[in-house]
Chain A
Amino acid sequence: MSLDVAFRASEVLLALAILQQSLEHMCGPRRDWWIFVPRIGLCLLLLSGIGTLLALAGLVGISMVILWRFQGPYNGGSDRMGLLILWSLSLAQGTPSNLWQERVFGYLAVQLVLSYFISGKVVKLMNPDWRSGQALRDVFAFSAYPVSENLRRFAHSPRLLWCASWSMILFELVFPFALLNQKLLIAALGVAALFHFANACLFGLNRFFWTWLAAYPSLLWLQARVF
């Protein structure tokens, strides 16, 4: 994937992700509409492909207003990843140097790999609760995430959750090796997208799904560029 194609694919996916979030905010209080109505307009501008840099700059400005309004990310990790993609794309598009464009976009790709690898190795593999499946049992038993009460019954399936824990840990650990081959990387990203899809269905984390997808083109580009 060429750099230009990867930029455009990321822009379109990010614009759709931010558009989806902003439309959801229109259900909120009207006093926040002054933030989200222009944000919707800028997403449409970014989708159109006309005035891309202006749209990205506007979205960066609004991202700062949103951080201030909610005193942090509204939706935790997904908002943080959204900010990282937005700022990376804006800086990369804003710099005339091809070298710096590659460096900034490459940074986003590396962060995407780390998002899986660190949460697999450092967080889960090092933690006895994750290795035994207890952490996932806790997620289902009492965390705020299961979208319905009947999903809590999974907390009473320790073998299933042990298998799920280790599947996650192993996938996240081997994810960086997928960079060695393009087909392997596409397959790994497909599995990762399924993982986010499951999280969206079971835990209501729909914003993670759309936001992480928007970072995938950077990794496809980096793989083609380096290997």
Chain B
Amino acid sequence: MVHFLTLLLPALIPSWRFFETIEASPRVQWAGVQGPDVSAAQWCDFRPRPSTLSIWTMFVRLFWNPRWNDGLYMVSLAERLTLASTPHSLAEIFRLVGREHGAQSAPYLQVRLVFVSRGKMGTNDLVEQVSYLSHWRPRDTIP
């Protein structure tokens, strides 16, 4: 009950502190691995954004945008996972990745979170840091 109230109360008594600071931004990456002790050979971005989008597509997405909203949910899950690792966040990330890449040949899946941020003060160079690396999971155990 207390946990449920912590989920509900921020909606009923909101703080409205959107984008208070622009924090490091998570990217979810996945890899297919051949076995439990095998290192991932290649990491792929989960749903990389397109290089361009037409104005018409942007407008249509005002009405129909399920894939992008799934991606925003993935960002929330990644942030939650870094703040306090919960089985729910990790299971949901694996579910979303597995749904899209479940038919790959490698029998196991692994995910990691890469956080992108601005570099040193005064520069606009971007810095990437791997902040989380999951254990592998057999594909057939991902719902």
* Residues of chain A whose beta carbon lies under 8 Å from any beta carbon of chain B: 20, 23-25, 27-29, 31, 64, 67-68, 70-77, 79-81, 83-84, 87, 111, 114-115, 118-119, 122-124, 127, 129, 135, 137-139, 141-144, 146-150, 155, 197, 200-202, 204-207, 209
B43 within 8 A of A: no
Contact indicator A148/B49 (Cβ below 8 Å): yes
| B37 in the interface (beta carbon within 8 A) | no
Given contacts A144-B27, A148-B49, A72 and B80 within 8 Å (CB-CB): yes
Q: Is B2 an interface residue (CB 8 A)?
A: no
Q: Using an 8 Å CB-CB cutoff, how does the interface string of B46-88 with A read, 1 for contact, 0 for none?
A: 0001111101001101111111111111011000100000101
Give Cα distance in the complex from A68 to B19, angstroms.
Answer: 25
Residues of B within 8 A of A71 (CB): 7, 80, 86, 88-89
When the two chains form their complex, are residues A67 and B14 in contact, meaning their CB atoms are under 8 A apart? no
A79 CA / B7 CA spacing, docked (Å): 12
- The residue of chain B having its C-beta at the shortest distance from the C-beta of A151 within the complex is B53
Interface contacts (Cβ under 8 Å), in number, total 151
**Partner pick for B61 among A79, A135, A204, CB 8 A cutoff:** A204
CB neighbours of A118 from chain B (8 A): 15-17
Tell me the dominant secondary structure on chain B's binding face. mixed
The answer to whether A209 touches B62 (Cβ under 8 A) is yes
In the assembly, what is the distance between CA of A141 and CA of B123, in Å?
Answer: 12
Interface residues on B, range: 35 or more
> Is there contact, CB below 8 Å, between A138 and B118?
yes
Contacts of B64 in A (CB 8 A): 23-24
A70 to B70 Cα, complex, angstroms: 12
Q: A20-B63, A144-B25 are known contacts. Are A28 and B49 too (CB-CB below 8 A)?
A: no
* Interface-central residue, B24, B62, B70, by most chain A CB under 10 Å: B62
Residues in A with CB closer than 8 Å to B53 are 147-148
Contact partner, A67, options B7, B16, B80, B86, Cβ 8 Å: B7
**Chain A residues in 8 Å Cβ range of B63:** 20, 206
Q: Say whether, besides A29-B99, A129-B22, A149-B52, A144 and B75 are in contact (CB < 8 Å).
A: yes
Please determine whether A64 and B17 come into contact, CB atoms closer than 8 angstroms.
no
Could you jot down 10 A-B contacts, CB within 8 Å?
Answer: A27-B66, A29-B95, A67-B7, A71-B89, A74-B69, A114-B16, A127-B20, A138-B22, A141-B118, A141-B124
